Structure 1
Amino acid sequence: MALDAAVLALCAKELSAALADARIDKIFEPTRDEVVLNLRTRTDNPRLFLSARSGSARACLTKETFENPQTPPSFCMLLRKHFTGGRLLDVRTLPDERILFFDFQCTNEMGDTVVNTMAAELMGRYSNLVLVQTKNPANPAAEGKIIDALKRVDFEDSEVRQLLPGLAYTLPPQPQKASFLGVSAAGIVAAVSQKELPVAEALIKTTGGVGPVVCREAAYRAFGGRDVTASRMTEQEKAALLEAVAFVQAAYADGGTPVAVVVDGRPVEFSFLPLTQYSGADLVEYGSYSELLESYYAAKDKAERLRQKSRDLAKTVHNLHERAVRKAAARREEQAQSAASEELRVYGELLSANLWAIQRGAKNVTLTNYYDGKEVTIPLDVRLSPSANAQKYFKEYKKKQTAARMLTELIAESDAEAEYLATVQYEVETAEGEAALAEIRAELKSQGYLKYYKAKDKKQKPADFLRYVSSDGFPILVGRNNAQNDRLTLKTARGRDVWFHVKNAPGSHAVVLSGGQPVPDTTKTEAAVLAAVHSSQNGGAKVQVDYTEVRNVWKANGAKPGMVLYDPYETAVVTPDPALAERLRAK
């Protein structure tokens, strides 16, 4: 569900108490929709997380670590200019509005004290973060001037409300609905009774300030699973709805309880009161609203951040792979045409043997093919003599023969390039962060696929291998990308160590470090499962994994990163098991 005004108001109270007199120490913008403020209080160093992403907009304290871009975005630099060192004065919200205002006392470039406000508008796909300079520092709630917005809104985007630097900040238009938490329970029941709709839908249509899940909860508490039409409620049913609405209002007034509904280990809803409408589901209570929001959105946000960071690189690698596949197909087609070169040789021989019968300037000539006795019509170039036409066919024949020999090597190169880029494509899709993506970019630059800019490109510290420990106590290392695969197999591993790789598909190299000891079958099976998990075949039921000792693995001259040859080898058939990989992960 989206964050509603009720949960947001309770979250604001929590943040106001936790961040009293906090000062901004550092500001980061991990992705284009997220901002992290490192704060300092007298007793702690909390981090405030603000997200304007449409599917997971929120404001809460966070303990998560973020990878920041090497070059701060322009909006991050603007935030640092106007807010670094600022002292938090207040965290406030407005009734039934999904907007949090963070008022900071800051110092401008002239040394004057000013009050700057971050307005976190958490309204689904219209979510935004607006920076406002308050006109009256003594009254931060007064209308101010927009410094800038994370997502600028001009006249083409909205005729009603624009968010551009220099304009006055105004609140978004508010629908004319009764406040669920501000109007008496009797007033809400009276308004709902006018609607020819099921009670839950009538509550959603007539009230504001809470999300649909709270309206459904009130209806469920009143009538259980029964479908009751609002305009046809009996007096007894109205009394039941009145009691349910009053209960929800009382729960909010008491500060509520941060609760999430968990189905199959995954949170599906959250609110400020226990949601009894989800029978059979688990209700998990949290110590704070920040913990609730972090838990609810964590996995979704992590995937979205990686998708944003890898989007451009994934598109580039996809295009490179498609180009390599097209190149190989074109060369095969050209090779097929070269296979018909024998006909050119025959044409040349027939013309040479019958020069006396060919008239100069003729467009074609029909001659008897002395190889099979059949007549054949040979096209001629009217600009050339009969002898020159014969030489032309001989030259084309030699050209096709040479092309056929070269195309065999070129097709092998194109196939190898397509296979290599398929492995890079898999690496981009499974990259776990900015460091992994940076290593892939460096690899592509070293192979000439991306341009290298010496002034801009900073050297990255190479990431470590993925480390596991088998149930028999043997270390198992897994490469994260092609560069790591080369380093692991050709430099780190030793001759008696056992090497694993999924058969005929992109994937990581896995190596069991034997330390000179025989490797048990249990460890081999676990390493094969890890190789399958870290491959493009990780969704399969039965995956073939080749394995051999490292001394049987070598790299051909000129081979791309991560591409090796091995012989002899054995093949195991395993089922990918991410749960096993998690259990074996070295702590």
Structure 2
Amino acid sequence: MPFDGISMYAAVSELKDKVLGSRITKIYQPLKDEVLINLRRISDELKLIISANPLNCRIHLTQNNVENPAAPPMFCMLLRKYLIGGRIRHISQFNLERLLEITIENNNEFMQPVEMKLFIEIMGKHSNIILADSSGTIIDCIKRITSDVNRFRQVLPGEKYVMPPVGDKINLLSIDRNIIMLTFESSVEKIPSQTVSKWLVDNFAGVSGASAHEMVYRAGMNESKPISKITCDELDSLVKVILNLADDIRSRNFDPVVYLDNNTNNPEDFWVFPMFHKKEKSTHISGVNNAIDFYYAKKSAVTALEHFKKHALGEVSRNLKKSNQNLLHLKKTLEKTEEMEKYRLWGEILYANLYRIKPGAKEVKLPNFYNPGEEIVIPLHEKYTPARNAQVYFNRYKKMHSAITMSETRMQEALNEINYLENILVNIQNSENLDDIYDIYQELESQGYVKNPVKKNMEKSKSEPLKFKSSDGHIIYVGKNNRQNDILTLKKAKPGDIWLHAKDIPGSHVIIDCHGKDVTEKTLIEAGTLAAYFSKARNGSNVPVDYTLKKYVRKPAGAKPGFVIYDHQKTVYVTPDEDTIKKLSL
């Protein structure tokens, strides 16, 4: 549901009760298209957020703190110059459209009273925040609209403010049955094929596509049905729904609801009234501004999480690609072992037959004393003595032997790094909130994979492992990243607890909190399912999962975060199942 005209009316109705007469104390511009205004009314401190973001355009009171840029943008400086110290005297909405006018009384530099206006246009990608004087002359705006963008309406300093075209729609606050019927009959004559939902959106101010869908649903109709095909009973039902909605708006009988995804709990929608056609999980919240704030705060957190996860995936994938390329190069070096042994053999045969080699020869055919009866043709440098030719081959052998010995060591290091980075990819996948992803960024920074964390001056992470409960009542913990894995396994778990991990597969540490007591096979299978699900093998089948007592798990000195070794293990085979995960969730 977009921030429609009905939602704006509900939010502004509350705003008037709380902010009229309040003084503007501070102004910030945390984003290029968003303004935060701090207000004080008697002893109350309020924060009003106004956003012209195309996807999140809105206006409401907020309780959330935002990070502000070190240097305020020019529009922010201008708002501070004209508005700080002023009082909000009037807030008006035009005809249930998403157009708002806020009047502020302040004193100019000569201490003379002046009246300033903020015009708020919540119109998707055309949203804007405009500062004007009492005559309506624009001082500046957060988005300047030139004639190149719009030939009919320029929004520029010095221009007179002109309201955007909104059409001649009916105001729900002043309708009755006759008005609705006349509008319907006129539309049937002009556009008989128009659908019911489209008719509602085109003719009633403040109604969006989603709210029109809800109105049609309440009337028990098909939203795609042409208006010319509507029966008298259907029309009567629809008129009642419109009139009831209008009465609820006029009486401010709002009941805001936020809808969350049934699986992820991510915000999906909100409205100032319940939407009965919605199947998602509903959360009723007291206060329209509180509901809007809750919805957009969660939406912002989800957007930020996806952004950071994408960035982290890019950084890790880039390093993983380099490690795989390095591993391929090392494998090619190791493949030269046969050639290395050939040079050693040639050197030995030459040294054993120096007396048989004629000076200046380009090659020599000599018997291979390691394989009686075989003769080997050995190339020679014609300007070198036989002894020097032998030494050249020995030097090549020694150089290649040193390179191969070093490559074997580096190859193991590369394999360890690839395993570590693949485990980080799984951790990123398992991240459920910003604290989880910040943990990963801190780890990546400490290991030298990123120069700067995405969030500077990070506070100590508050992320916690996931918590589940087995069918037999045992608590099961699952680490979502390496920091949590280390804390869970090395600090939180008791020696008698059972530790699980997908066998030879990057994934989470899992702990069954049993304190040395026996657990049933069912609990082991459920914990194994969790270990497999929160691993790289999430979509696999018959995934091997090792389990052992925590006392048999230890971390080698100098090992990377999340890495442990273990023994006394046994293995179960499980198939990850999302339904099982949901049943075990607390």
TM range (shorter): 0.7 to 0.9
Instruction: Note closer, same or farther for the CA distance 1:319–1:534 as it changes in structure 2 (3 Å cut).
Output: same
Q: Where does 1:86-165 land on structure 2 (aligned, <5 Å)? A: 87-95=87-95, 97-104=97-104, 120-127=120-127, 130=129, 132-136=130-134, 142-146=136-140, 149=142
Rounded Cα–Cα distance in structure 2 between residues aligned with 1:144 and 1:481: 52
Instruction: Note closer, same or farther for the CA distance 1:204–1:348 as it changes in structure 2 (3 Å cut).
Output: farther
Matched to 1:356, the amino acid is K
1:142-180 deviations in whole A, cap 9, x for unaligned?
34312x62x67778877777778x565856753656457
Q: Where does 1:359-370 land on structure 2 (aligned, <5 Å)? A: 359=361, 370=368
Rounded Cα–Cα distance in structure 2 between residues aligned with 1:413 and 1:118: 62
Answering whether residue 419 of structure 2 is matched by residue 419 of structure 1, we say: yes
* Shift in Å, 1:403: 1.7
Q: Where does 1:330-341 land on structure 2 (aligned, <5 Å)? A: 330-341=329-340
Matched to 1:224, the amino acid is M
Instruction: Note closer, same or farther for the CA distance 1:438–1:548 as it changes in structure 2 (3 Å cut).
Output: same
* Shift in Å, 1:317: 2.6
Rounded Cα–Cα distance in structure 2 between residues aligned with 1:396 and 1:58: 73
Rounded Cα–Cα distance in structure 2 between residues aligned with 1:314 and 1:464: 19
Rounded Cα–Cα distance in structure 2 between residues aligned with 1:43 and 1:125: 37
SS at match of 1:563: coil
Rounded Cα–Cα distance in structure 2 between residues aligned with 1:114 and 1:127: 26
More displaced 10-residue stretch of structure 1: 419-428 or 80-89: 80-89
Aligned to 2:443: 443
1:370-403 deviations in whole A, cap 9, x for unaligned?
568578695x779978876654443333222222
1:41-86 deviations in whole A, cap 9, x for unaligned?
55866654555554444334456x56x4496674599479566666
1:205-247 deviations in whole A, cap 9, x for unaligned?
85463223455567778893396555xx38x858965884685
TM-score, length-scaled by structure 1: 0.73
Aligned to 2:582: 579
Answering whether residue 201 of structure 2 is matched by residue 199 of structure 1, we say: no
Q: How many residues align?
A: 560
Matched to 2:5, the amino acid is A
1:67-125 deviations in whole A, cap 9, x for unaligned?
x4496674599479566666443433333643444555567899887666665543334
Matched to 1:212, the amino acid is G
C-alpha contact 2:85 2:106 (8 A) present in aligned 1: yes
C-alpha contact 1:467 1:475 (8 A) present in aligned 2: no
Instruction: Note closer, same or farther for the CA distance 1:72–1:346 as it changes in structure 2 (3 Å cut).
Output: same
Instruction: Note closer, same or farther for the CA distance 1:228–1:418 as it changes in structure 2 (3 Å cut).
Output: closer
Rounded Cα–Cα distance in structure 2 between residues aligned with 1:329 and 1:29: 50
Answering whether residue 394 of structure 2 is matched by residue 402 of structure 1, we say: no
Instruction: Note closer, same or farther for the CA distance 1:335–1:279 as it changes in structure 2 (3 Å cut).
Output: closer
C-alpha contact 1:30 1:36 (8 A) present in aligned 2: yes
Aligned to 2:245: 251
C-alpha contact 2:3 2:58 (8 A) present in aligned 1: yes
Matched to 1:579, the amino acid is K
Matched to 1:248, the amino acid is I
TM-score, length-scaled by structure 2: 0.73
* Shift in Å, 1:445: 2.9
Matched to 1:195, the amino acid is I
Rounded Cα–Cα distance in structure 2 between residues aligned with 1:331 and 1:113: 78
Answering whether residue 561 of structure 2 is matched by residue 561 of structure 1, we say: yes
SS at match of 1:197: coil
1:260-284 deviations in whole A, cap 9, x for unaligned?
69798588766667767x4999999
More displaced 10-residue stretch of structure 1: 489-498 or 286-295: 286-295
C-alpha contact 1:11 1:60 (8 A) present in aligned 2: yes
C-alpha contact 1:496 1:549 (8 A) present in aligned 2: yes
Instruction: Note closer, same or farther for the CA distance 1:399–1:203 as it changes in structure 2 (3 Å cut).
Output: same
Rounded Cα–Cα distance in structure 1 between residues aligned with 2:378 and 2:154: 76
Matched to 1:252, the amino acid is A
1:541-581 deviations in whole A, cap 9, x for unaligned?
76544332332122223311111111122334565644355
C-alpha contact 1:27 1:76 (8 A) present in aligned 2: no
Rounded Cα–Cα distance in structure 1 between residues aligned with 2:27 and 2:480: 30
Aligned to 2:165: 174
C-alpha contact 1:23 1:85 (8 A) present in aligned 2: yes
Instruction: Note closer, same or farther for the CA distance 1:112–1:581 as it changes in structure 2 (3 Å cut).
Output: farther
Q: Which runs of 5+ in 1 are unaligned?
A: none
Rounded Cα–Cα distance in structure 2 between residues aligned with 1:125 and 1:314: 30
Answering whether residue 325 of structure 2 is matched by residue 317 of structure 1, we say: no
Instruction: Note closer, same or farther for the CA distance 1:39–1:321 as it changes in structure 2 (3 Å cut).
Output: farther
SS at match of 1:461: coil
Aligned to 2:517: 518
Rounded Cα–Cα distance in structure 2 between residues aligned with 1:419 and 1:313: 17
C-alpha contact 1:435 1:460 (8 A) present in aligned 2: no
1:455-499 deviations in whole A, cap 9, x for unaligned?
x96473353643748578877655453234334433454533443
Matched to 1:135, the amino acid is D
* Shift in Å, 1:135: 1.2
Q: Where does 1:435-474 land on structure 2 (aligned, <5 Å)? A: 435-451=435-451, 458=457, 460-463=459-462, 465-466=464-465, 468=467
Q: Which runs of 5+ in 2 are unaligned?
A: none
More displaced 10-residue stretch of structure 1: 393-402 or 458-467: 458-467
C-alpha contact 1:426 1:536 (8 A) present in aligned 2: yes
Instruction: Note closer, same or farther for the CA distance 1:194–1:239 as it changes in structure 2 (3 Å cut).
Output: farther
Rounded Cα–Cα distance in structure 2 between residues aligned with 1:280 and 1:101: 36
Matched to 2:190, the amino acid is Q
Aligned to 1:190: 186
C-alpha contact 1:476 1:513 (8 A) present in aligned 2: yes
Aligned to 2:208: 211
C-alpha contact 1:204 1:215 (8 A) present in aligned 2: yes
Aligned to 2:222: 225
Rounded Cα–Cα distance in structure 2 between residues aligned with 1:279 and 1:491: 45
SS at match of 1:548: strand
Matched to 2:409, the amino acid is E
More displaced 10-residue stretch of structure 1: 425-434 or 69-78: 69-78
- When the two chains are superposed, the root-mean-square deviation of aligned CA atoms in Å is 5.1
Aligned to 2:505: 505
Aligned to 2:304: 305
* Shift in Å, 1:447: 2.1
Rounded Cα–Cα distance in structure 2 between residues aligned with 1:336 and 1:158: 67
Rounded Cα–Cα distance in structure 2 between residues aligned with 1:226 and 1:20: 40
Matched to 1:134, the amino acid is A
Rounded Cα–Cα distance in structure 2 between residues aligned with 1:285 and 1:492: 37
Aligned to 1:327: 326
Rounded Cα–Cα distance in structure 1 between residues aligned with 2:382 and 2:72: 68
SS at match of 2:190: coil
More displaced 10-residue stretch of structure 1: 522-531 or 325-334: 522-531
C-alpha contact 2:502 2:544 (8 A) present in aligned 1: yes
C-alpha contact 2:315 2:450 (8 A) present in aligned 1: no
